[in-house]
Amino acid sequence: MLKKIPHTYAIIFYIIIATALLTWLVPGGQYQRETKNINGKERKVIVENSFKEVENNGQTWQIFSAMYKGFKEKAGIIVFIFMVGGAFMVVTKTRAIDTGIFKFLDFTKKLKSNKLLDKLGVDNIIIALIMLMFSFFGAVFGMSEETIPFIMILVPLSISMGYDSITGVAMVFLAAGLGFAGAILNPFTIGVA
């Protein structure tokens, strides 16, 4: 008999409760910080060897506002994903994605008539180009959570090419993750560094 996995919000709430309990058990501490001019910008940095223990600030009622504060802080990303997801839902209901995928596959079948491309594997070229595109997006502007709606397009494409759904997810999410790690102009990693 399979056990039912709790809802995502329940799992997050359990993690919040566990970390709130740890605030009572783990000794509190803090570093002193100072403002320094680094590469022409004023930044707050930690003073070396300045860690000292402080009184614990145990969390109790704050656990109930943690999800709200998280949603409030990341509302921009949440709304963006909802809007893009809604737009893709409209496109899916009109079956425009299916039509586009079949047209794309017809185009790739024509490419198989080219002996060089057929020898390399047209499907392999398609996967490589899609992954390069999402890797570029991750490296340049930090595309990460924004890839989720694109999975709905590329999973059916990978299945229609004869691959499984994991391949469709990897074409998007793995490629964007690799680009994010490479971070050519990614404001989230380069900006912090």
* Tens digit of each residue's pLDDT (9 = 90 or more) over 81-123: 788 677 767 866 887 766 776 777 677 777 777 788 777 787 8
Give the lowest-confidence range in 11-15, 38-42, 69-73, 102-106.
102-106
Positive or negative, the CA dihedral 108, 113, 116, 121 is positive
C-alpha radius of gyration, the chain, whole number: 24
Residue 70 to residue 53: CA distance in whole angstroms? 27
Rounded to the nearest integer, the mean pLDDT of the chain is 82
Q: What is the pLDDT of residue 103?
A: 78
- Give the pLDDT of residue 18: 92
pLDDT digits (tens, 9 = 90+) for 158-186: 888 889 999 999 998 999 899 888 888 77
Q: What is the pLDDT of residue 101?
A: 65
Pairing of strands 33-38, 28-30: unpaired
Handedness of CA 169, 174, 180, 184 (dihedral sign): negative
For range 56-72, the mean pLDDT: 84
Which of 108, 116, 190, 119 lies closest to 157, judged by CA?
A: 108
Which residue pairs, CB below 8 angstroms and at least 24 apart, start in 94-97? 97/152, 97/153, 97/156
Q: What is the mean pLDDT of residues 56-80?
A: 83
pLDDT at 174: 92
